[in-house]
Amino acid sequence: MKKLENMLVHQLNEDRNVPYPDFENMWERIEQNTTTAFQTQMSSGKQKRGRNWSKLALVSSLSVLLAAAPVYAAVHYNWDTMLRGRSGIQAALPQELGQQLDQSVTKDGVTLKLRTAVVDKKRTVILFTLDVGGRKDNEYWRVGGMTLKGPEGEKRFEKFTYLNWDENNHIYYGYFESEWTPKQDIVNAQVVLDNIQAFSLQTLDLPLDVDSTKTQSFPIGQEGMRSIEVKPFTQDQDMLLLSSGIIFDQPDVKKWAYPEIFVYNNGTLINWQTGSTFALPGVNGEYTAKQYYKAEDVSGVKLTYKLQYMKKEKDIAVPKVFNIQLSKKEMENGTMSTSLNLPLEVAETDFMLEKLVVTPTQIRVIVRSKDKYYSFPYKKYALEIGGKTIESRSKISPDEPALTELLFERPFDLEITKGTPITFVAKYKVTQHGSYNMNNDDKIPLLLTNISQKKQTIIQQLSGYPVNWTYYIQGADLYVETGSEDARFGGINNTHIGLDRERLLGKTVIPTFTGDGSNKNIEVYKNFKGTEATIYNYFYTTDDPEKETRVQIRP
């Protein structure tokens, strides 16, 4: 059951038209949490960097309007479990920086109550409770369509919402977060609620044959899911990959179904390995997953495969609009902002630390890139402040593509003054070679010859690393696998055949993510015709796990 609850953390909201082939940043914006709760998230594909999706919805004219003044008060509810990993919000509550809301709606015996709002720079948090009047063991609840609407027209803002069940008090604690904050000290805003839903866990047997390398399709016909396609891959003889995609007849079901393949050996669950990914939108809107298993765990034994998913049991249409008043005055009074203009690395100006912002709940380091198409080059980053090391909770790309904001939760017991020493530390450098806007003359072509069902491999030298390109026809499709035995080669991002208008884009079977320790990639060209092809990569990366840079921000 614990594994199921962890699975439920990953919720895919309605897909947007993300420009192919930007899979890496698509995944980076899916924040992974370990709270055993439902979580809804928004990611954006507006451009390669600077993402901020929002979801539009209509609110019924029957919504009841209520008002509440911003009252600052300590909160008497135990939010510790809910706010684990949000130490800044934990710190704000006893300082009476939370605004008491105390508004509620009840329908069909279920009550949702807004408790407290915390408004900070680029973050507004709403804490709420959900009383469902008794919860069954196999029952999971979700708050749907909870959004924050500012006074600037009809825009609605949300980042994610999740619930945590309190077994002792038999109530859900809820957390809503938005990157929107008021432009003025005090503004009127609205919290919009669409529905409250309950779900149960369902299981469907899959007669999967992992010894076959063919794509296998199985009908589902349940909960708006039409079918699932699964293709097994064997990698380096020691790893099995199950690449799957689910087609939905009802796209909205993606918000709650959480379909996942589970593998059992005589009733014992076999855990998937590091590098597995879930809930990635496919090129055609399918719901995709990549699950890795050790070959020794799945070889020579009789396995069973099951598709587990959530079925909607209750759908309580509220809808509801809470009129609230938000103030950022108290937070602004405790905020310090410092211009930096410091190079990330000595004698290099490709990335500059531009600003440090310290608020009562968080610390933000803003970095500017010389080239907007290049991502921040380090995968691990921390601040050393007052004898404490604070790791970054997330990386936020704001509206300006050349900027990256690194967000650090402020520890509740850390005092920061203008004289407090602060050092920025970044580790594990990933260097990007090339970019999506690279000139054709700078691209390195590779000719694939005698293309057939027989697997063939070409070795290409990239930045001194031997890279294997293995290609073959399966069915009507051309598969291209890339990777290197040298772990310091980070991997090839995406490939294309031909140039300009004649360019064909490869569809990623295994997405590569920088700094994840794997440089394997598989792409497929559907319905490929011919026996030769000139193939190019958009860009590739090289890894330096030991690389470290330190920037003294203060004094």
262-313 pLDDT tens trace: 999 888 899 988 778 888 777 777 888 888 888 888 877 788 999 999 999 9
Element (H, E) at 28: helix 23-28
Q: Which residues pair with 348 in a beta bridge?
A: none
CA distance 419 to 26: 39
Q: Do 58 and 93 form a contact (C-beta atoms < 8 A)?
A: no
| Residue 98 amino acid letter | G
CA distance 378 to 514: 10
Who contacts 211 (Cβ-Cβ below 8 Å, separation ≥6)?
232
Amino acid 64: pLDDT = 24
What's the angle, vertex CA 83, arms to CA 80 and CA 84, rounded to 5?
Answer: 85
Q: Cβ–Cβ contacts within 10 Å for residue 284, how many?
A: 9
DSSP-assigned letter for residue 94: T
Element (H, E) at 554: strand 540-554
Closest Cα partner for 77 from 176, 179, 175? 175
Q: Do 540 and 491 form a contact (C-beta atoms < 8 A)?
A: yes
Confidence check: pLDDT of 3 > 70:
no
- End-to-end, the C-alpha distance of the chain in Å comes to 50
Amino acid 302: pLDDT = 82
Q: Do 528 and 405 form a contact (C-beta atoms < 8 A)?
A: no
Confidence check: pLDDT of 50 > 60:
no
Task: Strand 446-448: give its sheet, edge to edge.
Answer: 446-448, 533-537, 495-497, 504-505
CA distance 497 to 504: 5
Is the pLDDT higher at 365 or at 93?
A: 365
Q: 239 falls in which pLDDT band (50, 70, 90)?
A: confident
Among 154-158, 167-171, 242-246, the range scoring the smallest mean pLDDT is 154-158
Q: Do 532 and 451 form a contact (C-beta atoms < 8 A)?
A: yes
What is the tens place of the pLDDT at every residue in 301-312?
Answer: 788 999 999 999
Q: 113 falls in which pLDDT band (50, 70, 90)?
A: very high
Q: Which residues pair with 209 in a beta bridge?
A: none
CA distance 291 to 162: 25
CA distance 20 to 10: 22
What's the angle, vertex CA 349, arms to CA 347 and CA 355, rounded to 5?
Answer: 115
CA distance 308 to 318: 29
What is the tens place of the pLDDT at every residue in 316-329?
Answer: 998 889 999 998 88
Q: 14 falls in which pLDDT band (50, 70, 90)?
A: very low
Between the alpha carbon of residue 221 and those of residues 4, 217, 225, 245, 246, the distances in Å are 22, 13, 6, 15, 11
Amino acid 82: pLDDT = 79
What is the tens place of the pLDDT at every residue in 56-81?
Answer: 222 222 222 222 223 333 344 678 77
Confidence check: pLDDT of 15 > 70:
no
The percent of residues in the chain predicted with pLDDT above 90, rounded, is: 41
User: What size, in residues, is the chain?
Assistant: 555
CA distance 526 to 250: 25
CA distance 332 to 151: 20
Amino acid 398: pLDDT = 65
Judge residue 61's burial from the number of C-beta atoms within 10 Å of its C-beta, 0-12 exposed, 13-18 middle, 19 or more buried: exposed
Task: Give the three-state DSSP class for 78.
Answer: coil
Confidence check: pLDDT of 186 > 70:
yes
What is the tens place of the pLDDT at every residue in 420-464?
Answer: 999 999 999 999 898 777 777 778 899 999 999 999 999 999 999
Confidence check: pLDDT of 48 > 80:
no
Q: 102 falls in which pLDDT band (50, 70, 90)?
A: very high
Among 60-69, 251-260, 474-483, the range scoring the smallest mean pLDDT is 60-69
The two three-digit tokens of residue 373, written as one number: 């198409």
**Rounded mean pLDDT of the chain?**
80
Q: Do 177 and 123 form a contact (C-beta atoms < 8 A)?
A: yes
Who contacts 455 (Cβ-Cβ below 8 Å, separation ≥6)?
470, 471, 472
- Mean predicted confidence (pLDDT) in 88-117: 91
Q: Which residues pair with 9 in a beta bridge?
A: none
Confidence check: pLDDT of 535 > 70:
yes
Is the pLDDT higher at 358 or at 156?
A: 358
CA distance 152 to 204: 47
Is the pLDDT higher at 253 or at 38?
A: 253
Amino acid 517: pLDDT = 67
